Chain A
């Protein structure tokens, strides 16, 4: 009887970004970024609007190519990995039901039909949308859409999940619902990399903080030490509520 050898999928972590810059149309979007995203507690990117947080997420996701420098996933210089997922700041809902949105993200042929339905139900339960499976996705509230986007992103069992301002424009109750899911997902071993300009959210979720200004990483430290003793003038100003331009 032939023995089937199950090979574990290659790991995406650590993600190593080495002196990476991104320029477009003569504009520098990211400059000299060097960063290692390792397994563990959530890494939170903070900084003022336009500091490059979203672009850094896209770079680490493999959606944006560096103009110079390099990026490696799990020690491999390739974007071929399939265990990264991202939730955009304004996730687009497909014009179908809530359940069908998740089913689409699961993809075809990955699971048997029965397992497919079970997995959709499991994911909707995780994000608290079980009762809304048949509802058109575009009719959900902003908070519900964010939770559906999370379920969709989790459909492919990511090892690392990038979240771009996942609670922007949400009320406190919806924010708490989304953050609770993030905490549960992180506790399950998924590496969370989250961009936000909400300092309260950063304090609640961060294990590590990456502080960015004008496309550069100005400071990178464990959350506790960053919030207690920021080393750069910009970070001190940002934490004290001053405008950092």
Chain B
């Protein structure tokens, strides 16, 4: 009980350390999802519409990569970004930017694979009309992504959920540095191991609340959009 009260005290008391962690976590996860969307949405749409040798293999790999182990991605990104790695000259290791890149790598397959499926299903419905209208490939992709936008909100939420709940990757490439790269998930892991359960529980409550709030907001936006646009 005591721990529960302490956790709420931290949240409601506006603890600066807690809110700094929350702010960084949201920034990193939103940025990673945005970056992954910029790459994953058109990639998924292309795979849905374009037939080429090896496409089936890429689709299978993409689907498999939806379950990429975060620590393996973290290790790969660490090797890439470490001082002796190919991207070491960027000096990104143990920075929030490295965390964004690493989370984006985790989220891109989720967004691309789910987008491919969504757009492919819509294309089956639209193919005759768009072929008859002689709509070019680029316009087709744009139109399909636009018309699937409400379904794709769920795809983006799945990506955001994966990024926000992830701990292994950001722990490895961010280093869990207090006040700089500490996120909610890495802080929960650290505080639990230290036995500081109030902070860990407080962060856990905030994390779940935020994910529920983001999903609820997106669901409301989706519903409103569907009513408005059909």
- Interface residues in chain A, defined as those with a beta carbon under 8 Å from any beta carbon in chain B: 61, 63, 82, 85-86, 88, 91-97, 104-105, 107-108, 135-139, 152, 156
Contacts and interface: CB of A to CB of B under 8 A. Distances in A.
B147 A63 contact: no
Contacts of B147: 94-96
B212 interface: no
B132 A63 contact: yes
B1 interface: no
A97 B230 contact: yes
A91 B230 contact: no
Contacts of A85: 132
B139 A95 contact: no
B128 interface: yes
Contacts of A88: 128-129, 132
Contact of B139 (A96, A108, A136, A152): A108
Given A61-B132, A93-B230, A104-B143, 8 more contacts: A63-B128, A85-B132, A96-B147, A96-B229, A107-B135, A135-B230, A136-B228, A152-B133
12 contacts: A63-B128, A63-B131, A88-B128, A88-B129, A91-B129, A92-B129, A94-B143, A96-B146, A96-B147, A97-B229, A105-B133, A137-B230
Interface string B40-53: 00000000000000
B194 interface: no
Given A92-B125, A94-B143, A95-B147, A138 B230 contact: yes
A164 B114 CA distance: 34
